Amino acid sequence: MSSPATAGGLAVVRTVAALRLRLRDWRADGDTVALVPTMGALHAGHAALIEAAHRAADRVVVSVFVNPTQFGANEDFAAYPRDEGRDAAFCDERGADLMFAPGVTEMYPDGFATSIRVAGLTEGLCGPFRPGHFDGVATVVAKLLIQTAPDTAVFGEKDFQQLVVVRRLARDLDLGAAILGVPTVREADGLAVSSRNAYLSADERRIAPALNAALRTTAARIAGGAPAPEACDAARQRILAAGFASVDYVSCVEEEALAPVTVFDAARPARVLAAARLGRTRLIDNVPVNP
Ligand code: PAF
């Protein structure tokens, strides 16, 4: 096997075998390991994940893999931003130990036939609007967790449904990793940092923070006792009035089971989640309902 490519102090490996060799050495030294799964196009949100990974473990592995199976036929797989050199420099500057950047055939060899579905949790919210998406996420995350066997794996709260799905997957399959959620990093005007923000025109970028503003108002109304369905409906109208083309959903759900909330009960943590289209870009966001 060839020795790993390096970018500064960071090692870059492309095969599961090379990844496991590194991990074996670290484990022999008694080091703990945190995994940060990403699709590259790294930004401030990922920086927060890497920082959290450093706090959680001795060694930090960042995986960079644009996973084809989680993109629908009409989604942006081909257009998704890819710049591995930049991602490697980003990981290196933030002190990550290893970047795992497999190719598609390393992750999905010819004849690959296995898919993981987390029932229930994937059926609401983004599920109906992105058929097959969460099966693709669950399958690739299960593979990454099996390949790396980390003590901790770190995910952003921005993709809150994904975080809940991954927690359940790790529990159900006894994958052993603690799943750590990290709060969403935002621009000064409230827009959640996302790789897809790069698709927004200047006009759309001005409108985009209306999504977060509507969610914050809605969460405050629900915390104050307003019925959640009515508050979410008002948010939908507000997001459309701001200039979004359409709203897939605005929902208030319990954080663990993603069950719809009618009236908020402070004993059961809840969040307001939304997805809406601005021009051709689909944005998602969520905020907690703070009692
Ligand atoms: O959140 C992401 O970037 C992706 O969905 C993940 C978790 C890396 C799986 O491809």
- pLDDT given for residue 9 in this prediction: 82
In ligand 1, the atom with minimum distance to the C-alpha of 137 is 9
Q: What is the DSSP letter of 159?
A: G
Q: 65, 67, 139: which to mutate for ligand 1, most atoms within 8 A of CB? A: 67
CA atoms of 183 and 203, how far apart (whole Å): 27
Report whether pLDDT(2) > 50: no
CA atoms of 41 and 3, how far apart (whole Å): 25
Ligand 1 center–CA 37 separation, angstroms: 6
Helices (H), 61-208: 84-93, 104-107, 133-148, 160-172, 202-207
Q: What's the whole-number average pLDDT of the chain?
A: 96
How many CB atoms are located within 10 Å of the residue 262 CB?
Answer: 11
Ligand 1 center–CA 267 separation, angstroms: 30
- pLDDT given for residue 3 in this prediction: 44
- pLDDT given for residue 7 in this prediction: 52
CA angle 120, 253, 123 (to 5 degrees): 25
CA atoms of 94 and 43, how far apart (whole Å): 12
pLDDT digits (tens, 9 = 90+) for 54-101: 999 999 999 999 999 999 998 999 999 999 999 999 999 999 999 999
User: Structure pTM?
Assistant: 0.96
Q: Which residues pair with 22 in a beta bridge?
A: none
Ligand 1 center–CA 254 separation, angstroms: 22
In ligand 1, the atom with minimum distance to the C-alpha of 156 is 1
Catalytic residues, by residue number, are: 46
Reduce the DSSP state of residue 247 to 3 states and report it: strand
Nearest CA to ligand 1 atom 5: 137
Report whether pLDDT(4) > 80: no
Place of tokens 């080091």: 31
CA distances, 205 to each of 12, 200, 210, 211 (Å): 34, 6, 10, 11
Per residue in 68-94, is it b (16+ CB within 10 Å) or e — as a string? ebbbeeeebeeebbeeeeebbebbbeb
Q: Which residues pair with 99 in a beta bridge?
A: 12, 62
Q: Write out the H or E segment, with its range, that includes residue 230.
A: helix 228-242
Ligand 1 center–CA 64 separation, angstroms: 9
The domains located in the chain, with CATH, are 5-182 (3.40.50.620), 195-288 (3.30.1300.10)
Q: What is the DSSP letter of 192?
A: B
pLDDT digits (tens, 9 = 90+) for 104-142: 999 999 999 999 999 999 999 999 999 999 999 999 999
Nearest CA to ligand 1 atom 9: 137
